[in-house]
Amino acid sequence: MAIKKGDFIEIEYTGRLKEDNKIFDTTNEQVAKDNEVHNPNAEYGPVIVCLGEGQIVAGLDEALEGKEPGKHKIELPAEKAFGKKNAKLIQMVPLMKFTQHKIKPFPGLQINIDNMMGTVKTVSSGRVLVDFNHPLSGKDIMYEIEIKRIVTDKKEQVDSLVKLLLGIKDAKTEIKADKAEIQIKPELPPQMAEEMQKKIKELTGIDAEFVKPKEEKKETASKEEKLKPEVPNSRNEVSRKPKEEKAAEAKKEAKEPPKEADSTAQ
């Protein structure tokens, strides 16, 4: 069955530069290691995406529409991949801006300046040339991609959205009567939770609710229990005295001489 915009699909892929066949991205960990592009912090393996939602390269999103599950080779020109080089995004930045943050710039260093990712091109006296274009801008690329299956399970769809849009990998989702209960930690700000609920409804057709993890609820209840005052459950417990108090009374009695009986007759 051909896939269409809005379908959730599970894919595996490897991306290469057309000019030299060099791999720049892959979902296969061994391939990443063999080609020296391995990231120890990345998660490898098949990924689930919603077609047409910009979760993959724009040109690839478009090229996959109408394809059947299976293996495909797709070529993308620069303008449909990571864009053409924009000369306006190559800028001179005062060296002082780096030294203020205790950064020593050098060619190839990737940095974040004013929420823009850039790559240092050259360093001269007092000035640093930074390219804020995507590192692969201006490059034609190729993808070897396998559409493994169309994902129809609602839980898998919701989990994939939480993972891709929020970056949360350990969310626990339960689907009950067309409603998703999503346990995540930490708690989302109300506005973000509302936006996610709208997106989940739009793409999966089901309502969603974000809740605290059950373990956290139990832990909170346990803490409340500990704070409650202890209530004796029997008369014997009420009348029972601490051992220290009993011992003190026994010593006192042992030291005090017995009282003489009053000999005055009434």
Q: What is the pLDDT of residues 15-30, one digit of tens each?
A: 999 999 999 999 999 9
Residue 215: per-residue pLDDT: 62
- The answer to whether 68 and 147 have CB atoms below 8 angstroms apart is yes
Q: Are residues 163 and 145 in the same domain?
A: no
Q: Are residues 200 and 219 in the same domain?
A: yes
Q: Does residue 204 lie within any of the structural domains?
A: yes
Beta-strand runs (E) in the chain: 8-17, 23-26, 47-50, 70-76, 90-94, 110-113, 116-124, 127-131, 141-151, 172-175, 179-183, 207-211
Q: Are residues 77 and 94 in the same domain?
A: no
> What's the rounded Cα separation, in Å, for the pair 163 and 167?
5
Residue 213: per-residue pLDDT: 82
Q: Are residues 169 and 186 in the same domain?
A: yes
Q: Are residues 147 and 29 in the same domain?
A: yes
Q: Are residues 37 and 121 in the same domain?
A: no
Q: Are residues 164 and 242 in the same domain?
A: yes
Residue 216: per-residue pLDDT: 53
Q: Are residues 122 and 208 in the same domain?
A: no
Greatest extent of the chain over all pairs of C-alpha atoms, in Å = 126
Q: Are residues 126 and 143 in the same domain?
A: no
Residue 163: per-residue pLDDT: 93
Residue 255: per-residue pLDDT: 46
Residue 199: per-residue pLDDT: 96
Q: Are residues 16 and 68 in the same domain?
A: yes
Domain that holds residue 126: 87-131
Query: What are the tokens at 125?
Result: 């006296």
Q: Are residues 48 and 145 in the same domain?
A: yes
Query: What are the tokens at 57?
Result: 């390269």
Q: Are residues 16 and 144 in the same domain?
A: yes
Q: What CATH number does residue 26 fall under?
A: 3.10.50.40
Q: Which residues of the chain have pLDDT under 50?
A: 217, 220-221, 223-224, 227-266
- Provide the number of structural domains found in the chain: 3
